[in-house]
Structure 1
Amino acid sequence: MSDVPVLVNTAVAIVATVVLIVRFRVNPVISLVLGSLYLGLTTKLGLDKTVQTITKGFGDIMAEVGLLIAFGVLMGAILQEMGTIEQLVHRLIGLFGPKRLPYSLSLTIGTLLQSIYLDVLLVISAPLARSASRRIGPLGTPRMAVAMAIGLECGIVLVVPGVGALALAALLHVPLGTMLLWGLVLIIPTILISVALMTFLFRKGLWNVATDEAAQTHTAHIEAGDAGTSVEAASSEQRHSSVPHTSEHAAATTSTTNGPDANGADTPGATATATLDTPADGDRQNTDPSQSASEAPHLLLSFAPLLLALLMIATGAIADAADLHNRVLAFLADPVVALLVGLVGTVVVGRIRMGRKRVEDAIARGFKDSGQILILTAVGGSLAAVVAAGGLGDILRGYFGAESFAPLLLVWAIAAVLHIAVGSVTISAITAAGILAPLAPSLGIDPVLIALAAGTGSLFAVHVTSNTFWLLQSLMGQTTRGTLKTCTMGVSLASVVAIILLQPISLLFF
């Protein structure tokens, strides 16, 4: 088959998938399967091999990341039930103060909290962030909103066990330890620089309270200034409340139309509303100085299993880089073993702190959430397999090679265009990785760089087709215009900062 029909049919399949998702509101899983079928039937796969390739791609990616996603989501569900996010925000304020909270919270969300289902993480942390914004000053709302948006979206695709990061690593055959280490190297400066630049722009007049904040938010800031509002009580009351932090509680706080897709954040056409008048009881004061110190051991205990799992994975990557080979170390550093250790440890801690019943309830919710994520990730693998088997990689290798100008920028641009069209960070990253995976050898760059470049490109232009956009608008008390600045502009800036930072990082691989 000549090059032109393959290129045309691949373009038709991708455009048709986008149109089905965006225009006709077809579920992303169904859309991706239909696109895969069309592409297979119109390329050299034909009737004989199309379904076989789709199912093989589905199974291959599940073999790579299926257990990892399930273990990660289950850990996150138990951490959510224990109220660790509220404790963590309270602790961050105590350690860094409210002025540095945007940086510390964004870093924490983008790294440590990526095992928690994104919408749940947003619903729980946004009221606390909104209450904290009153202590920061008149720019508290935009600073906290942009910090949350950047941390949430960057973490999905750059840091293990973020769903997008796991999928990218699987499609491009990147060891998870390597993805974890280099993802951390990239995301930490990206978040710090992006939040600092957005803060600078807000101070130079980018933010207009009258048009960018909801009336209730502006009024609340004025009242907070008069009353000396403190955010610590919000964390304390939620932490000691008898109401468990369940998804039903989250649903009472926020409602969505065309609910979140399997990555929990990016279904096109999604909208959200939230209660804006009484955010997380943030107007009450906590004057007990011993409370922050007493909660620290509990917080460390809650996160210890997850931290141990990530440390085990990272140790394996460091050992590989140092050319150290040990069978016991390799076994313990295997991501499946490491995350299983983390999950078992989290279950034990959860039973000690909450009892067996609440842990079982959290696990049940985790299974429900992980099922959605697993199917979308696997179907993305099916499309990637069909794209590769259909001959696109061979064709692209004739046009792009190691001598291509700025190959990482090419990867970034492809993912960015897909995200603008689809509106889903995870789907665009997975699709871009599937298209580019056959091209990786000819580009002459390490697959982890391609994975990170695809992840950063998929962050560009998070806009009104994203559920995260509307949740941030409602929960942080912004207008649509304000959310375009904090979410769309903020995350797009992070995308650009990340690809710029990735260029000097890539030099370390040569």
Structure 2
Amino acid sequence: MRSTALAAAAQALTDAGSTQLILAALLGIAVIVVLITKFKLHPFLSLTIGSISVGALAGMQLKDTLTSFGTGVGATVAGVGTLIALGAMFGRLLADSGGADQIVDTIIRRATTRTLPWAMALVGALIGLPMFFEIGLVLLIPVILLVSRRSGLPLMKIGIPALAGLSVMHGLVPPHPGPLVAIAALNANLGITMALGVLVAIPVVVLAGPVLARYVARWVPVAAPALFVTSGAPASAAVRADGRTGGSAGTGTAVETLAPEAEVVTRRPSFATTLSTVLLPVVLMMGKALVDIFLPDTSSLRMALDFIGTPLVALLLAVLVAMFTFGVGSGMDRKEIAASLEKSLPPIAGILLIVGAGGGFKQTLIDTGIGGVLAKAIAGSSVSPLILAWVVAVLIRLATGSATVATVTASGILAPVALTLSTGETSLLVLAIGSGSLFFSHVNDAGFWLVKEYFGLSVGETIRSWSVMETVISVAGLVLVLLLGIVV
């Protein structure tokens, strides 16, 4: 009797602790949203205050909270931050050399206004296949902004399809690192998972990309900000969906020229040279993913590609190559190339701080144990394994803001379930987890802040565009996985 009472008391304390963690996470997120939207506090400060609030409400000691926040900031800046910096350098060289204009002109020349969103979805999917979302985003941003400006289409009609292509690859299709983690944890068949992943990804990209973009362009009628273009006389201004011209804030000011400064660039790099340089980091990272699958650990080729195919090295090599293909190839001398690289960093300083603070907030949430609490709360449920996998990933994604954390945690929890499933069902389990890991990105996700800052959006506009798109991808992915589950 006494042992039963003690067990009940212990369970009550555990339940109380779990409830406290859930409330702490919800209140911390609410603090961030209120500070940014109502009090107009800078997101970096809001995220910092929100992180401290979560730690305090969850019962963490102050020093532990600060340690978690600092660890998250450091890891994010060291990882995503360096990639953003290299991507900004690459993007600036691409813009200043006229290479971005070359891509834009070629795309617009070969695509109609109706087919441009579809072309951007394809570009986003191809770029996003071997790399994390943040890397693909910093590579695509100059192209997205200039295509929007040159075509006169609203930013969301161009940006949403490209983002959808990137995000779907991130969650559903090997050899992207996320699905590969789930495949390994669940012992799924790579070939079957890849085939089913592509089968699900194509309609999801179509729905969350070009189709959804028509509506998002009405909900968020903004034009492309002047992040990767040079200043000059007004050019063909991009038009907002409400009929006004100007920047993302809708001020009615003239849009900057799309062409690089005449005194810097004497000629454009060719389309073939530009495309080859842009795809260089993609090829290197794709090569790494493929050799990791097909070659043994002792292979010399695998060891070489494991090094040069890491995102940091691949982007570093891309910047070095771009200094020649974009810089020298467009007639720049060494001083002009150095000046272009130098000018690339100040505009992203705020982005780095915000993304870093977002990483700190995410790490604070993780260290409180909220992800584990949410996962264990439904692990014993009797619902369909596919729905269960999706729900577990969704809850961890909402709590931590990390699709990777959601994928890894959900895969670990569902591993025992996978042992009872067929080969095809196990592959669908991987896709269900991947779909859930993309659900409703919000203020604790670095991707949320990247999109917000690069596109010059408010928090509300980012939720109505990026967050809605991520939710559509997640739900559509689950529906298609369940339909495939009927026949697989």
Task: Provide the TM-score with structure 2 as the length reference.
Answer: 0.63
Is 1:114–1:159's contact at 8 Å kept on the other side of the alignment? no
In structure 1, which of residues 353, 365, 377 is the aligned counterpart of residue 355 of structure 2? 377
Segments of structure 1 that go 5 or more residues without pairing to the other structure are 131-140, 161-167, 215-243, 257-264, 282-293, 419-427, 473-479
How far off its partner does 1:32 sit? 1.3
| CA–CA distance in structure 1, aligned partners of residues 255 and 305 of structure 2 | 53
| CA–CA distance in structure 1, aligned partners of residues 106 and 150 of structure 2 | 12
In structure 2, which of residues 370, 374, 377 is the aligned counterpart of residue 392 of structure 1? 370
Structure scoring higher RCO (CA < 8 A, sep ≥ 6) equals: 1
- C-alpha distance after superposition, 1:319-365 (max 9, x if no partner): 22225323223222222221111111111112221403443333223
How far off its partner does 1:71 sit? 1.6
| Residue in 1 that maps onto 2:28 | 13
Question: Do the aligned partners of residues 441 and 250 (structure 1) sit closer, same or farther apart at CA in structure 2, a change above 3 Å counting?
Answer: farther
| Residue in 1 that maps onto 2:438 | 455
Question: Do the aligned partners of residues 271 and 102 (structure 1) sit closer, same or farther apart at CA in structure 2, a change above 3 Å counting?
Answer: same
| CA–CA distance in structure 1, aligned partners of residues 208 and 62 of structure 2 | 49
Counterpart code for 1:154: A
Q: How many residues align?
A: 396
Question: Do the aligned partners of residues 90 and 501 (structure 1) sit closer, same or farther apart at CA in structure 2, a change above 3 Å counting?
Answer: farther
Counterpart code for 1:348: F
| CA–CA distance in structure 2, aligned partners of residues 19 and 50 of structure 1 | 21
Counterpart code for 1:114: L
| Residue in 2 that maps onto 1:410 | 391
Is 2:410–2:433's contact at 8 Å kept on the other side of the alignment? no
SS at match of 1:38: helix
1:45 matched to 2:72? The reply is no
Question: Do the aligned partners of residues 504 and 63 (structure 1) sit closer, same or farther apart at CA in structure 2, a change above 3 Å counting?
Answer: farther
User: How is 1:198-277 mapped onto 2 (pairs within 5 angstroms)?
Assistant: 246-249=229-232, 271-274=249-252
Question: Do the aligned partners of residues 195 and 36 (structure 1) sit closer, same or farther apart at CA in structure 2, a change above 3 Å counting?
Answer: closer
Q: Percent identity?
A: 18
| CA–CA distance in structure 2, aligned partners of residues 250 and 20 of structure 1 | 38
How far off its partner does 1:22 sit? 1.9
User: How is 1:93-242 mapped onto 2 (pairs within 5 angstroms)?
Assistant: 93-95=108-110, 100-108=115-123, 112=127, 114-116=137-139, 118=141, 121-130=143-152, 147-154=157-164, 157=167, 185=198, 189-194=203-208, 197=211
Question: Do the aligned partners of residues 387 and 429 (structure 1) sit closer, same or farther apart at CA in structure 2, a change above 3 Å counting?
Answer: closer
Is 2:281–2:318's contact at 8 Å kept on the other side of the alignment? yes
1:317 matched to 2:289? The reply is yes
| CA–CA distance in structure 2, aligned partners of residues 303 and 9 of structure 1 | 47
| Residue in 1 that maps onto 2:92 | 77
| CA–CA distance in structure 2, aligned partners of residues 187 and 361 of structure 1 | 41
1:346 matched to 2:317? The reply is no
How far off its partner does 1:387 sit? 1.3
SS at match of 1:273: coil
| CA–CA distance in structure 2, aligned partners of residues 76 and 173 of structure 1 | 32
How far off its partner does 1:11 sit? 1.6
Is 1:154–1:187's contact at 8 Å kept on the other side of the alignment? no
| Residue in 2 that maps onto 1:35 | 50
Is 1:145–1:486's contact at 8 Å kept on the other side of the alignment? no
How far off its partner does 1:84 sit? 2.9
How far off its partner does 1:83 sit? 2.8
- C-alpha distance after superposition, 1:300-327 (max 9, x if no partner): 2123233121111111111222253232
Question: Do the aligned partners of residues 501 and 147 (structure 1) sit closer, same or farther apart at CA in structure 2, a change above 3 Å counting?
Answer: farther
How far off its partner does 1:485 sit? 11
Question: Do the aligned partners of residues 485 and 453 (structure 1) sit closer, same or farther apart at CA in structure 2, a change above 3 Å counting?
Answer: closer
| CA–CA distance in structure 1, aligned partners of residues 311 and 345 of structure 2 | 19
In structure 1, which of residues 289, 306, 316 is the aligned counterpart of residue 278 of structure 2? 306
SS at match of 1:312: helix
- C-alpha distance after superposition, 1:186-235 (max 9, x if no partner): 76653345566569xx8xxx99xxx99x9xxxxxxxxxxxxxxxxxxxxx
| Residue in 1 that maps onto 2:3 | none
315-324 or 9-18, larger mean C-alpha shift: 315-324
- C-alpha distance after superposition, 1:167-188 (max 9, x if no partner): x97xx9999xx9xx99x95766
1:367 matched to 2:374? The reply is no
- C-alpha distance after superposition, 1:384-425 (max 9, x if no partner): 221122121332232133866524543676599x7xxxxxxx
Counterpart code for 2:65: T
| Residue in 2 that maps onto 1:57 | 72
| CA–CA distance in structure 1, aligned partners of residues 255 and 293 of structure 2 | 53
SS at match of 2:353: helix
| CA–CA distance in structure 2, aligned partners of residues 37 and 250 of structure 1 | 46
SS at match of 1:271: coil
| Residue in 1 that maps onto 2:332 | 355
In structure 2, which of residues 284, 309, 313 is the aligned counterpart of residue 337 of structure 1? 313
| Residue in 1 that maps onto 2:82 | 67
Is 1:415–1:458's contact at 8 Å kept on the other side of the alignment? no
How far off its partner does 1:375 sit? 2.2
Counterpart code for 1:311: V
Question: Do the aligned partners of residues 278 and 46 (structure 1) sit closer, same or farther apart at CA in structure 2, a change above 3 Å counting?
Answer: closer
Question: Do the aligned partners of residues 275 and 67 (structure 1) sit closer, same or farther apart at CA in structure 2, a change above 3 Å counting?
Answer: closer
| Residue in 2 that maps onto 1:290 | none
| CA–CA distance in structure 2, aligned partners of residues 370 and 505 of structure 1 | 43
| CA–CA distance in structure 2, aligned partners of residues 348 and 16 of structure 1 | 48
| CA–CA distance in structure 2, aligned partners of residues 385 and 488 of structure 1 | 21
| CA–CA distance in structure 1, aligned partners of residues 138 and 256 of structure 2 | 28
SS at match of 1:455: coil
- C-alpha distance after superposition, 1:114-137 (max 9, x if no partner): 33574x65542223222xxxxxxx
